[in-house]
Structure formats: C-alpha cells, structure tokens
Amino acid sequence: MIHPSDAPRRRAILSGSEFEERIGYARAVIDGDRVHVSGTTGFDYTTMTISDDVVEQAEQCLRTIGAALAEAGCTFADVVRVRYLLPDRADFEPCWPVLRRCFGEVRPAATMMVCGLADPRMRIEIEVDARRPATAG
C-alpha cells in the first residue's frame, strides 16, 4: 500500500456507474490523506437496478461506498463524516440497524437531510468523508 504522504495528491475512483460518465463526477476522490465519497444511492451500478425497499437501498449504498473506501485504502472505521439524504423522513429510522452495523463503533459526525433526489425511485443517498490511515514503513 502506498503511504498517504507518498501518494499523488488527487486521484479519482470510478465505480462504473453510468451516472458518473453522464454527469461527470467520480464515486470518490482521494486528496492526500482524505477520501471524499460522492453521494451514493441504492442503485446496483453493475445492473443499473434499484430495489423499492429503502433498507435494501441503504445496504446497497453501503456496499458501493465500502468498495470505494477499500479502493482508497480505507474501511468504514476511517469514516469521519456521513451525510444521509432522504426524500421521506419516515424512511430514516428503518435504516438505522443497517447504518449502525457500519458506523455504530466508528461514531462519525453525521447529518440527515430531507430533500428531493435525482430519481423518484431513490429513497436514500449516503455520502461519506474518510481519512486514510497512516501505514507502517
């Protein structure tokens, strides 16, 4: 693994989502020891399908985010900030057990906002910021 101080200052991580290509963004950006993961919805970007169930969408969000963090040399334990965006506030509490599995021990700073999302099928969007761990050597 590259030590953060030896890594290029900025590197984009792509997930292959058609949204990234069509809109012009990266799933995540490594900037030195910081990792910024874009708002991630419940789409399975390999099949471009999305569940109707908000809890399943939250699980898919976290799988996609976890893969981006891993590519950046991080885990959920390195997350320092999480933002939850939901069109319906009533959908948030059913997701808590799923969210707690990733963040319950980590305790990142968190914000939940009620807002419209880009596609009416999207019921939750999650964005995280992490700090890459220093490695020995």
Give yes or no for residue 136 having a pLDDT over 50.
no
In a domain, residue 118? The reply is: yes
In a domain, residue 137? The reply is: no
- Amino acid letter for position 111: T
User: Which domain covers residue 46, as residue numbers?
Assistant: 4-131
In a domain, residue 66? The reply is: yes
Give yes or no for residue 7 having a pLDDT over 60.
no
Q: What global pTM score does this model have?
A: 0.89
DSSP run (H or E) holding 114: strand 109-114
In this prediction, residue 34 has a pLDDT band, given cuts at 50, 70 and 90, of very high
Residue 61 maps to which CATH number? 3.30.1330.40
In a domain, residue 97? The reply is: yes
In a domain, residue 18? The reply is: yes
Burial 14-53 (b: 16+ CB within 10 A, else e): ebebebbeeeeebbbbbeebebbbbbbbbbebeeeebbee
DSSP run (H or E) holding 38: strand 34-41
DSSP-assigned states of every residue in 69-87: HHHTT--GGGEEEEEEEES
Looking at residue 72, its pLDDT comes to 96
Structure confidence by residue, pLDDT tens digits, 44-100: 988 889 999 999 999 999 999 999 999 999 999 999 999 999 999 999 999 999 999
DSSP 134: P
In a domain, residue 21? The reply is: yes
Looking at residue 20, its pLDDT comes to 87
Phi-psi map region of 120: left, alpha, beta (phi>0 left; psi -120 to 50 alpha): alpha
In a domain, residue 136? The reply is: no
